[in-house]
Amino acid sequence: MRLDVVTIFPEYLEPLNVSLVGKARARGQLDVRIHDLREWAHDKHNTVDDTPYGGGPGMVMKPEPWGEALDEILASGEGEPVIVVPTPSGAPFTQQLAVELSAKPWLVFTPARYEGIDRRVIEEYGDRVDVREVSIGDYVLAGGEAPVLVMVEAVARLLPGVLGNAASHQDDSFAPGEMADLLEGPVYTKPPEWRGRGIPEVLLSGHHGKIARWRRDEAFRRTDRNRPDLIERADPAAFGKHDRAM
Ligand code: SAM
């Protein structure tokens, strides 16, 4: 998969050299290209922002540098990328969207600063390629670089061969499948006793059916406690055997 990121803070994306994503890059599974937007700004101060039409506080990112940057990047590869525009006014970033994006060969991220990018840029590229405006949550950050780190990590760990154990993400919270609407339940490792606290007996039973049933019950309990909204919107048939008062 190819990933391009256009930003005025290329150094903010340095964590993409570390850990899982860094290793995927080193193995050639991810081709990550970070671009400095200011390279496409032509005045002596490399200006990328200007005052908003209609007045108001803050600055808006100018369309020309973004247009030149995106034209050059789009012309540099085969086929069409999906352009992902981080914005608090976008559609929520979910595991389902991460799965969808992980199947694409090429993503271009456009993290903004200030009050965001001149709207005409989103319209212009929306007429040419698949453009997604995406929010990582109902809060406002100073820039889109942290959201890009979040999205790239969520997408990269779904790529074949990136996680050591391919099954790891299949049990995750929000993973598609039977437990898609449940959060993952608690997990334990050795030692069997720590500070007087043991682990649930069933996990030592070796009985796969009982362990699966326990994990499902715990996932249900945790979801009910922490994210009751997930249960409200789920298909009741999926929770047929559960009683929310448990
Ligand atoms: N005035 C904008 C608004 O209220 O929608 C906020 C702009 S914010 C200060 C600057 C940039 O940070 C945004 O254009 C976007 O790239 C990024 N950003 C901030 N919060 C975000 C979020 N929750 N999800 C995705 N991107 C976000």
Number of compact structural domains in the chain: 2
Mean pLDDT of 37-47: 97
Do residues 111 and 48 share a domain?
Answer: yes
Q: Whose CA is nearest to atom 27 of ligand 1?
A: 87
For residue 59, give the DSSP letter. -
For residue 242, is pLDDT > 90? Answer: no
Task: Identify whether 126 is part of a domain.
Answer: yes
Do residues 151 and 50 share a domain?
Answer: yes
pLDDT band, residue 99 (cuts 50/70/90): very high
pLDDT band, residue 239 (cuts 50/70/90): low
Residue in 155, 39, 28 with CA at minimum distance from that of residue 97: 155
Reported ipTM: the value is: 0.99
Ligand 1 centroid – CA 140 distance (Å): 5
The whole-angstrom separation of Cα 224 and Cα 226 is 6
Please state, for a pLDDT cut of 90, what percent of the chain lies above it. 85
Single-letter amino acid, residue 238 = A
Ligand 1 atom closest to residue 89's alpha carbon, by position in its atom list: 5
Residue 202 is predicted with a pLDDT of 98
User: Where among 131, 156, 181 does a domain terminate?
Assistant: 156
- The three-state secondary structure class of 34 is strand
Do residues 149 and 76 share a domain?
Answer: yes
Do residues 142 and 180 share a domain?
Answer: no
Task: Identify whether 167 is part of a domain.
Answer: no
Do residues 177 and 152 share a domain?
Answer: no
- The three-state secondary structure class of 211 is helix
pLDDT digits 0-9 by tens, 107-141? 999 999 999 999 999 999 999 999 999 999 999 99
Q: Is 151 in the pocket of ligand 1 (CB under 6 A)?
A: no
Numbered residues of the known binding site for S-adenosyl-L-methionine:
136-141
Task: Identify whether 190 is part of a domain.
Answer: yes
Residue 100 is predicted with a pLDDT of 98
The boundaries of the domain holding residue 185 are: 172-239
Q: Is 107 in the pocket of ligand 1 (CB under 6 A)?
A: no
Task: Identify whether 245 is part of a domain.
Answer: no
Q: Whose CA is nearest to atom 12 of ligand 1?
A: 143
Q: Which sequence positions are flagged as catalytic?
A: 88, 115, 157, 172
Are the C-beta atoms of 147 and 88 separated by less than 8 Å?
Answer: no
Do residues 105 and 208 share a domain?
Answer: no
- The three-state secondary structure class of 76 is coil
Residue 172 is predicted with a pLDDT of 82
Task: Identify whether 217 is part of a domain.
Answer: yes
Task: Identify whether 209 is part of a domain.
Answer: yes
Q: What values do phi and psi take at 184, rounded to 5?
A: -70, 145
Q: Which residues make beta-bridge pairs with 197?
A: 194
Do residues 10 and 82 share a domain?
Answer: yes
pLDDT band, residue 189 (cuts 50/70/90): very high
Numbered residues of the known binding site:
136-141
pLDDT digits 0-9 by tens, 140-164? 999 999 999 999 999 999 999 888 7
For residue 23, is pLDDT > 60? Answer: yes
User: Where among 101, 127, 156 does a domain terminate?
Assistant: 156
Single-letter amino acid, residue 101 = L
Mean pLDDT of 48-63: 98
Q: Domain with 193 in it: what CATH number?
A: 1.10.1270.20
Q: Whose CA is nearest to atom 3 of ligand 1?
A: 88
Do residues 76 and 143 share a domain?
Answer: yes
